Structure 1
C-alpha cells in the first residue's frame, strides 16, 4: 500500500514521488494532483511556554456530518477512478470524467 511520509509518496512498485505539499487530491474530472493548502479542516501545532499542543482549524465550521459527506464524496471519486482504470486502462482518455472538465 502507498505511504506518504515527509513529502514523499512511496509506492509498492518502489517508485518514490517527491511532493511539494503533504497531500494528494482528486478532482471531479478524476485528475490527480497535490493538495497544497490544508484550508478546510486541519491541525496546527502550537508552542506555548515550551509546551506543544494542537489546535483544530475549521474555518467553515464543518460539523461531523459535513466531514463524513466530504469523505464519502472523495472516496467515490477515487472509486470511480479505479473503475475507469480497470475498464479503459491508463492510456485511454476515457479514464477521465470529461463532463467535469468542461
Structure 2
C-alpha cells in the first residue's frame, strides 16, 4: 500500500515520488495532483512543528457533518477514478470524465 513519509510518496512497487506538498489531491475532473496547503481543516497551522500544540485550525468553522460531506465527496471522486481506470485504462482521455 502507498505511504507518504517525509514528503516522499512510496508505492508498493518501490517507486518513490518526491512531493513538494504534504498530500495528494483529486479534482472534479478526476485529475490528481499535490495538495500543498492544509487550509480547510488541520492540526495547528498545518506546520509540522506546530501539530503537537494540540490546536485545530478550522477557518471555515466546518461542523463534523460538513467534514463528513467533504470526505464523502473526495472518496466518491477517488472511486470514480478507479472505476474509470478499470473501464478505460490509463492512456485514454475518457478516464477523466467523472461518473462516465
Q: Give the drift of 1:23.
A: 0.3
Number of corresponding residues = 93
Q: Give the drift of 1:54.
A: 1.9
Q: Which structure has greater strand proportion?
A: 1
Tell me the equivalent position of 1:2: 2
| Superposed CA offset, 1:13-68 (max 9, x none) | 1100000010000000000000001110011127xxxxx52210000000000000
TM-score, length-scaled by structure 2: 0.89
Higher relative contact order (CA 8 A, sep 6+): 1
Unmatched 5+ stretches in structure 2: 45-49
Unmatched 5+ stretches in structure 1: 47-51
Partners of 1:68 and 1:85 in 2: how far apart?
26
Tell me the equivalent position of 1:49: none
Question: What root-mean-square deviation, in Å, do the aligned CA atoms of Structure 1 and Structure 2 show?
Answer: 1.3
Partners of 1:15 and 1:28 in 2: how far apart?
26
Tell me the equivalent position of 2:92: 92
TM-score, length-scaled by structure 1: 0.87
